[in-house]
């Protein structure tokens, strides 16, 4: 079957660094999305990784290892506004529109 | 603001009511989606439309009925819902139905009594 695992909740301190992991077991993996969702708001796109390695976008970076079925989202210089849920989702080779979603990681930032 | 709007934002309905959720995208996209989001569960894809044609129906109960009159508008008609249908209903759009980034609306928080 298709499965994605991510921690339910994490806590970090303002100004620090946090890494949110996502592991997947899927057939026909194509790529992996990360979305951010603030409470009561729409999920918004953060990154899409297809190739192995680290991609950096400002304070946020996303890493993918296809051989290990593993990705992480790295958030640096944490700000209070980074408190949100972070969703990872896998796109599959044999489906143009069906994404396999994780349940999301709720990140709590403390002063 | 993602360019996808949804109304109403909140809805309370009884099990015998009929209501409709509306989604509109201002991005010129060709594909639109309905998702159900329940607490601590992964997003569940309900329906996908590409160029106003339904291309996916993920074994959704018939009490949910989608309608896509044009590529900018998507509706979800609700009737005789159950309390377990209470959830956040998210609409999304993408340029195509390839592995495209999906842009989400803020959702309708539905409570079925």
Phi-psi sector, A77: left (phi>0), alpha (psi -120 to 50), beta: left
| SS3 of residue B10 by DSSP | strand
Distance CA A65, CA A45 (A): 20
Which tens digits make up the pLDDT trace of A60-78? 999 999 999 999 999 999 9
What residues of chain B lie within 8 A of the CB of A44, using their CB?
2, 104
Residue B8, preceding peptide bond in cis (omega within 30° of 0): yes
Q: What is the pLDDT of residue A93?
A: 85
Q: Any chain A CB within 8 A of the CB of B107?
A: yes
Nearest residue of B to residue A29, measured between CA atoms? B99
Which among A37-41, B85-89, B95-99 has the top mean pLDDT?
B85-89
A42/B97 Cβ within 8 A: no
Mean pLDDT of B28-51: 92
Tell me how crowded residue A26 is: count the other CB atoms within 10 A of its CB. 17
Q: In chain B, whose CA is at the least distance from the CA of A47?
A: B101
B106 contact A CB<8A: yes
Query: Residue A98 has what pLDDT?
Result: 79
Rounded Cα distance between B59 and B52, Å, is 19
- For residues B102 and B5, give the distance between their C-alpha atoms in angstroms, rounded to a whole number: 14
Distance CA B55, CA B57 (A): 7
Of the candidates B13, B15, B21, B47, which has an alpha carbon nearest to the alpha carbon of residue B32?
A: B47
Are residues B4 and A40, on separate chains, in Cβ contact within 8 Å? no
Is A93 within 8 Å of chain B by CB? Answer: no
Asked if A98's CB is within 8 angstroms of B45's CB, the reply is yes
Render B37-88 in DSSP notation, one character per residue: E-TTS--EEEEEEETTEEEEE-S--TTEEEEEEETTEEEEEEES--GGG-EE
User: Would you state the pLDDT for residue B98?
Assistant: 66
Once rounded to an integer, what is the mean pLDDT over residues A24-34?
Answer: 92
Looking at A14-18, A19-23, A98-102, which range is the least confident one?
A98-102
pLDDT of residue B87: 96
């Amino acid at each position: 079957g298709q499965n994605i695992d991510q921690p339910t909740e994490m806590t970090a301190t303002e100004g620090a660094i946090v890494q949110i992991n996502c592991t997947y077991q899927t057939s026909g993996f194509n790529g992996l999305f990360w979305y951010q969702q603030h409470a009561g708001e729409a999920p918004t796109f953060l990154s899409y990784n297809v190739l192995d390695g680290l991609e950096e976008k400002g304070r946020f970076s996303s890493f993918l290892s296809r051989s290990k079925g593993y990705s992480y989202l790295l958030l640096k210089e944490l700000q209070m506004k980074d408190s949100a849920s972070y969703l990872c989702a896998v796109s599959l080779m044999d489906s143009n529109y069906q994404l396999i979603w994780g349940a999301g990681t709720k990140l709590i930032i403390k002063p | 603001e993602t360019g996808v709007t949804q109304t109403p934002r909140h809805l309370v309905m009884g099990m015998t009511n009929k209501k409709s959720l509306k989604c509109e995208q201002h991005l010129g996209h060709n594909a639109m989606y309905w998702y159900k989001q329940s607490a601590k569960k992964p997003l569940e894809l309900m329906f996908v439309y590409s160029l106003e044609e339904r291309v996916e129906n993920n074994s959704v109960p018939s009490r949910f009925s989608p309608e896509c009159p044009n590529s900018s508008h998507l509706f979800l008609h609700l009737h005789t819902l159950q309390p377990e249908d209470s959830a956040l209903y998210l609409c999304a759009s993408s340029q195509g139905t390839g592995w495209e980034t999906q842009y989400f609306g803020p959702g309708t928080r539905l409570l079925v009594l």
